[in-house]
Amino acid sequence: MVLLKRFSPSDKDLLWRYSLVLLAAGIPHEIRKEKNSWEIWVEAADLERALREIEAYERENSGFRSKEPALQEGAGEKTFWSFFILTAVLSFTFEPRWQDLLFRWGILDGALVRKGEWWRVLTSLFLHQDPGHLLGNMLFGGVFFAFLTRYLPFWKAWGLTILSGVSGNVLSLLLHPENYRALGFSTAVFGEVGLLAALGLSERRHQLLLIMGFVLAFLGFLGTAGENTDLLAHLCGAVSGVFWGLAYRRFRKFSQKF
């Protein structure tokens, strides 16, 4: 075997990205740890093809990643604590003395939104039917959000997640009857999925397959045929995420020209 590339310990994330690129291309390789570095080795016959795949990956991603790192420092810790704190705060919504009031004024209700209670498209994201509903949404929301911070700064990721959830609720209201009612963060979670699909268009199969695995797990948790499962609302969240993700990509490319 021959050496393809050597990485410093600080470039370990790039090492695994290159390894996944090679896996997606079907190129056998080995990752070796040396005293002060990591290395990728390939068969001599595969060296030229491996270099072409790496160069193609770099060309596809150079423009979009030029200003924002693939993995921001501390992003995982921030993601964990933000979702942990959000879960803790939202757990108080199950307090009997508060739940009825919050549901009365915060749940998504098509008829009331049309009468001017527009805040419901936002507040309904943070209300849940029971603790299991909340924990499932926070768990999968945190997983997808961790992927999202590879493409977006932490606060931009949060902003686009909420924006996707809100616009997903608006779209869902337009497609449902006037008496439509809903609650839960799952619309925003599927908004994260849509954002990932739009922002990761230049990625290879490896990450898309991993994300799809979590999507299927989330659908399994929700139950695709349960009476309380609103697949149209989830689709609206995903479509909204794709829209805002593509809009963000276009804005980034435009801003880089100036």
Question: What is the side-by-side strand order in the sheet with 38-42?
Answer: 2-7, 38-42, 29-33
Asked, for residue 14, whether it belongs to a domain, the answer is: yes
pLDDT, tens digit (0-9, with 9 covering 90-100), for 218-257: 666 555 444 455 788 888 998 999 899 989 988 887 776 5
Q: Evaluate whether residue 142 is within a structural domain.
A: yes
Q: Which CATH number covers residue 11? A: 3.30.70
Check: CB of residue 186 under 8 Å from CB of residue 234. Answer: yes
Number of domains in the chain: 2
Same domain, 7 and 117: no
Contact yes or no for 185/141 (Cβ under 8 A): yes
What confidence tens digit (pLDDT) does each residue in 88-104 have? 999 999 998 888 899 99
Residue 237: name the closest of 201, 207, 195 by CA: 195
> Are residues 182 and 173 in contact, defined by beta-carbon separation less than 8 angstroms?
no
Residue 12 sits in which domain range? 2-62
* Whether 98 and 206 share a structural domain: yes
Coil/strand/helix, residue 33: strand
Say which residues have a Cβ less than 8 Å from residue 28's Cβ, sequence separation at least 6. Answer: 42, 43, 46
pLDDT in tens, 110-156: 999 999 999 999 999 999 988 988 998 999 899 889 889 988 999 99
Predicted confidence band of residue 65 (pLDDT cuts 50, 70, 90):
very low
Q: Is residue 209 part of a domain?
A: yes
Q: Which pTM does this prediction carry?
A: 0.67
